């Protein structure tokens, strides 16, 4: 590039972006891109992350032009390696016009380039102690446990239709839970034990949890599913806590009832806030992930809420979303290099 710590976007080409930008080094824009940025009066800085595919200089150039068309002022850019098993990500420091964050527009602009994109109002840092609270079903694991129990007991259609309504926010969660569990009455534990012993983990969840624990993060599941399954994950995922609903058992059969307090949307948020206080987690260092409508309150309570392969309503309302690929991609949001040396 013609000047140290400066980038002329017009000189970016089809080579991988890491062959054109030094990793973890921020470049301020010059020439045409800087002039475009000055056209807009931005709010306080946010960061847009482009991730999930092998980004070229040409890809970045097209994406920056898309941001300009959205009246987003682009101030600086940085390519970085979030994890050895992930493609290089790109972070862009931006200023925004007044109004709602253009989250959907950014996702669509990235999708056209076979990438994913997110605008982050907060940047939790991997290398500082933090707290991750996650949903279990369809987030930490690939399945909805209650649907799989129902499949084994040949009542799948009855149960899954209610699950879908609940996850889409069309039915109060506690009501849907009681309706679904009632259909499980009389199921033998022997029938469902193999499911508990072989839960299919979401891709990337094990190395993610291992890395977070190595950086002194606290990990918890807050699930509208069941303790029987959540507790089976505790050692495997190095979890500090699990919160879920308790199925009543009579002998070796399910009674069709849930006992104790229901872990619903409000309870999930309460779990996050309680653990934040218990562990004195610093401001900006709480992360919540989930896929369903009953995760939204928890995600709003966190400093960063991320939809994981989420329902449309959840993707729309979350701070950010991972719509395909490994949960390791959360590291793109936790490892954005510092911009302290950049001008405000």
Set 10, 13, 137, 198: catalytic member: 137
Give the tens place of pLDDT for each residue, 234-287. Answer: 999 999 999 999 999 999 999 999 999 999 999 999 999 999 999 999 999 999
Q: Is residue 328 part of a domain?
A: no
**Domain final residue pick, 87, 121, 155:** 121
Is the same domain home to 180 and 287? Answer: yes
Give dist(CA 103, CA 99) in Å, integer.
Answer: 12
Neighbouring C-beta atoms of residue 314, cutoff 10 Å: 25
Cα separations in angstroms, 178 against 37, 187, 230, 243: 54, 16, 19, 18
Please say whether the beta carbons of 8 and 28 come within 8 A.
Answer: no
What does the pLDDT look like over 222-234, one tens digit per residue? Answer: 999 999 999 999 9
Residue 85 designated active-site: no
Dihedral over alpha carbons 141, 144, 148, 150 (to 10 degrees): 160
Cα–chain center distance at 238 = 19
Query: Domain limits at 278?
Result: 131-318
Looking at the fold, whether 146 and 117 belong to one and the same domain comes out as no
Does 191 share its domain with 100? no
pLDDT at 171: 83
Q: Within 10 Å of residue 127's Cβ, how many Cβ atoms?
A: 9
Q: Are 152 and 248 found together in one domain?
A: yes
d(CA 329, CA 82): 8
- Going along 13-56, which residue ranges are E strands? 27-29, 46-51
Residues 214 and 310 in one domain: yes
Please check whether residue 56 lies inside any domain of the structure: yes
Instruction: Decide: helix, strand or coil at residue 259.
Output: strand
**pLDDT, averaged across the chain:** 92
**Annotation marks residue 197 as catalytic:** no
Q: Are residues 116 and 149 in the same domain?
A: no
Question: Does residue 338 belong to any structural domain of this protein?
Answer: no
Where does the chain show beta strands of DSSP type E? 6-7, 27-29, 46-51, 73-80, 89-95, 116-120, 131-134, 218-226, 241-250, 253-259, 286-290, 304-308, 320-322
Going by the DSSP 8-state scheme, the letter that residue 11 receives in this structure is G
The rounded distance, in Å, linking the Cα atoms of 235 and 245 is 19
pLDDT at 32: 45
Task: Report if pTM > 0.75.
Answer: yes
Both 142 and 79 in one domain: the answer is no
Q: Which of 65, 105, 135, 197 is catalytic?
A: 135
CATH of the domain at 253: 3.40.50.1000
**332 in any annotated domain:** no
At a CB cut-off of 8 Å and minimum separation 6, what does 147 contact?
156, 159, 160, 163
pLDDT in tens, the chain (344 residues): 334 589 999 999 999 999 999 999 999 998 545 445 454 444 557 999 999 999 999 999 999 999 999 999 999 999 999 999 999 999 999 988 777 789 999 999 999 999 999 999 889 999 999 999 999 999 999 999 999 999 998 999 989 888 788 777 788 888 999 999 999 999 999 999 999 999 999 999 999 999 999 999 999 999 999 999 999 999 999 999 999 999 999 999 999 999 999 999 999 999 999 999 999 999 999 999 999 999 999 999 999 999 999 999 999 999 999 999 999 999 999 999 988 655 54
């Amino acid at each position: 590039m013609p000047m140290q710590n400066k980038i002329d976007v017009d000189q970016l080409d089809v080579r991988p972006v890491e062959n054109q930008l030094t990793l973890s080094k921020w470049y301020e824009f010059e020439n045409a891109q800087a002039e475009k940025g000055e056209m807009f009066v931005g709010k306080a800085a946010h960061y847009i992350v482009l991730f999930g595919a092998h980004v070229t200089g040409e890809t970045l150039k097209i994406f920056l032009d898309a941001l300009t068309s959205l009246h987003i002022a682009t101030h600086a850019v940085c390519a970085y390696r979030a994890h050895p098993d992930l493609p290089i990500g790109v972070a862009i420091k931006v200023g925004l016009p007044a109004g709602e964050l253009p989250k959907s527009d950014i996702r669509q602009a990235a999708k056209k380039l076979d990438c994913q994109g997110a605008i982050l109002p907060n940047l939790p840092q991997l290398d500082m102690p933090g707290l991750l609270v996650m949903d279990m079903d369809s987030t930490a694991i690939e399945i909805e446990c209650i649907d799989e129990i129902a499949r084994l007991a040949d009542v799948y259609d009855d149960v899954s239709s209610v699950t879908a309504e609940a996850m889409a926010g069309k039915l109060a969660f506690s009501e849907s839970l009681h309706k679904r569990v009632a259909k499980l009455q009389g199921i033998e534990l022997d029938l469902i034990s193999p499911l508990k012993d072989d839960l299919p983990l979401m891709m990337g969840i094990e190395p993610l949890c291992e890395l977070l624990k190595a950086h002194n993060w606290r990990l918890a599941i807050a699930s509208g599913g069941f303790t029987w399954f959540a507790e089976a994950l505790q050692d495997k995922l190095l979890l500090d806590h699990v919160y879920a609903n308790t199925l009543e058992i009579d002998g070796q059969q399910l009674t069709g009832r849930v006992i104790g307090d229901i872990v619903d949307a409000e309870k999930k948020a309460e779990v996050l806030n309680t653990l934040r206080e218990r562990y004195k987690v610093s401001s900006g260092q709480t992360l919540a992930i989930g896929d369903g409508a009953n995760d939204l309150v928890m995600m709003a309570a966190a400093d960063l809420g991320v939809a994981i392969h989420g329902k449309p309503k959840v993707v729309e309302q979350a701070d950010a979303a991972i719509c395909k690929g490994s949960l390791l991609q959360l590291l793109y949001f936790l490892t954005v290099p510092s911009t302290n040396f950049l001008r405000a």
